[in-house]
Amino acid sequence: MTRIYEELGVRPLINAAGTQTRFGGAPLPGEVVAAMAEASTACVRMEELQEAAGRVIAEITGAEAGYVTSGAAAGITLGVAACLAGLDVTRMDRLPDTTGMPDEVIVQRAHRNAYDHAVRAAGARFVEVGYLGYPGAGGTHPWQIEAAITERTAAIYWAVIEARGVVPLEEVCRVAHRHDKPVVVDASAALPPADNLRRFIAAGADLVSFSGGKAIMGPQASGILCGRRDLIGSVLLQNQDQDVHPETWSYRARFLDSGLLPGPPHQGLGRGFKVGKEEIAGLVTALRAYARRDHSADRARWDRLIQAVIDGIADLPGVRGRYLGSDSPTVPRARLDLNEAALGFSAFDAIGRLLAGEPRVAVSESAAREGALVINPLCVRDDDEAALIGRLRAVLRSTG
């Protein structure tokens, strides 16, 4: 099955960490792999393939238009580039240098996160509003956002992350649209629940970026950008291969004959985020499968797996397992709290040993500093279960 890894001397791992990019994301469903393999055997006009995929994305998300990106981070950079340049070829040509164009992106302080580099990568500058601390849990007021909007504003950024006291998306969109400014949403990891595929667009967002390689179980280097047709138009111009002559350009009628552009832009900011036909085929297949999936069956499978892990280590001294997320629509997890003093090793030590052993096991490090391992079932295959529990037992058995 994994002969290629063996041949390269690379050991595969059991992924109990979730769809983390550094562990290769998810093992892909057979139908996704089949679609990618099939797509790889024939050449196509990529703009036509993107348009077809965009129609599927638009239908499933309820957005005007959709686009396949090389990941949610790429989608955010492309989306912000679209807000900066619009349909202006000279601006497209200039990015990420934003001289002469509005380049401020307003962000609530509680929404700043390590992935927001994707916004700045387009050339935009953040303008922060709101509080982090006192009073109470901090928070932003809608008037703070409104007061920050000026002629220099290019967009407002909103992230689907744990953040207390932020102004809800609906309200941000109302404020932004009063001033004719677009709202760009990072919804990378916002699935499940599946209805989030439509929720942010329904709330008024102008562009929403999802990962294709997280819960959708598409190719790891894929993502979905959905939203306003004009902004997606700017994205395609800045992302697709533009080694074109005006005379034969497939978008001649749409962009040149219509008078929208004086000429095609060439190899813009997003050229490095190219998406292959295989990723597009795989993403569309995965997205369709996700949209019609039995999500309660997924939930039941995850619950059973987590319970098996908790039961499987229940007799180990110094280790206490509990179920996380019973009241949440996101992926449930098991949290294994270690009595580090009694065990004689730390959660970080255990994580290192799990990754070094055979088979390798990756667990989530999200609570490692609190002395706990977190088991995320999303990428654990059914036939990994026995080996996963066996390795956890071997590593967590007290050495003292």
Report the residue from 13, 28, 60, 73 that binds ligand PLP according to the rule CB under 6 A.
Answer: 73
Q: Would you say 14 and 380 are in contact if contact means Cβ atoms under 8 Å apart? A: yes
Q: Give me the least distance between CB of 17 and ligand PLP, in Å please.
A: 13
Amino acid letter at 47?
Answer: E
Q: Is the peptide bond before 332 cis (omega within 30 degrees of 0)?
A: no
The answer to the question of residue 188 lying near ligand PLP (CB under 6 A) is yes
Report the residue from 98, 140, 153, 211 that binds ligand PLP according to the rule CB under 6 A.
Answer: 211
Question: What are the tokens at 55?
Answer: 């129609």
Number of chain residues interacting with ligand PLP (CB under 6 A) = 13
CA angle 81, 94, 262 (to 5 degrees): 90
Please tell me the distance from the alpha carbon of residue 224 to that of residue 18, in angstroms, as a whole number.
19
| CA separation, residue 301 to residues 142, 295, 308 (Å) | 41, 10, 11
Place of tokens 């959709």: 66
Q: Give me the least distance between CB of 71 and ligand PLP, in Å please.
A: 3
Question: What are the tokens at 16?
Answer: 């109990």
The answer to the question of residue 21 lying near ligand PLP (CB under 6 A) is yes
- The one segment of 65-73, 133-141, 235-243, 388-396 that binds ligand PLP by CB under 6 A: 65-73
The answer to the question of residue 68 lying near ligand PLP (CB under 6 A) is no
Q: Give me the least distance between CB of 187 and ligand PLP, in Å please.
A: 8
The answer to the question of residue 72 lying near ligand PLP (CB under 6 A) is yes
- Chain-centroid distance of CA 143 in Å reads 29
DSSP 8-state class, residue 370: G
Q: Give me the least distance between CB of 110 and ligand PLP, in Å please.
A: 13
The answer to the question of residue 196 lying near ligand PLP (CB under 6 A) is no
Report the residue from 18, 223, 227, 282 that binds ligand PLP according to the rule CB under 6 A.
Answer: 223
Exposed (0-12), middle (13-18) or buried (19+): which is 230, by Cβ within 10 Å?
middle
The answer to the question of residue 71 lying near ligand PLP (CB under 6 A) is yes
The answer to the question of residue 186 lying near ligand PLP (CB under 6 A) is yes
Nearer CB in complex with ligand PLP: 73/217: 73
- The one segment of 171-179, 184-192, 275-283, 375-383 that binds ligand PLP by CB under 6 A: 184-192
Q: Could you tell me which residues come within 8 angstroms of residue 188 by beta carbon, excluding any fewer than 6 positions away?
A: 72, 73, 115, 160, 209, 210, 211, 214, 223
Report the residue from 33, 161, 355, 387 that binds ligand PLP according to the rule CB under 6 A.
Answer: 161
Please tell me the distance from the alpha carbon of residue 361 to that of residue 354, in angstroms, as a whole number.
5
- The one segment of 69-77, 336-344, 374-382, 386-394 that binds ligand PLP by CB under 6 A: 69-77
Nearer CB in complex with ligand PLP: 219/377: 219
Nearer CB in complex with ligand PLP: 114/297: 114
Question: What are the tokens at 120?
Answer: 């700045």
Please tell me the distance from the alpha carbon of residue 132 to that of residue 109, in angstroms, as a whole number.
6
Q: Give me the least distance between CB of 84 and ligand PLP, in Å please.
A: 19
- The one segment of 41-49, 50-58, 183-191, 294-302 that binds ligand PLP by CB under 6 A: 183-191
Tell me the residue nearest to ligand PLP as measured from the CB. 71
Rg, Å, the chain Cα set: 23
- The one segment of 80-88, 146-154, 186-194, 338-346 that binds ligand PLP by CB under 6 A: 186-194
Q: How many CA atoms lie within 13 A of 313 on its CB side?
A: 32
The answer to the question of residue 115 lying near ligand PLP (CB under 6 A) is yes
Q: Give me the least distance between CB of 380 and ligand PLP, in Å please.
A: 19
State residue 184 phi and psi, 5-degree precision: -110, 125
Exposed (0-12), middle (13-18) or buried (19+): which is 180, by Cβ within 10 Å?
exposed
The residue ranges that bind ligand PLP (CB under 6 A) are: 21, 71-73, 115, 159, 161, 186, 188-189, 211, 213, 223
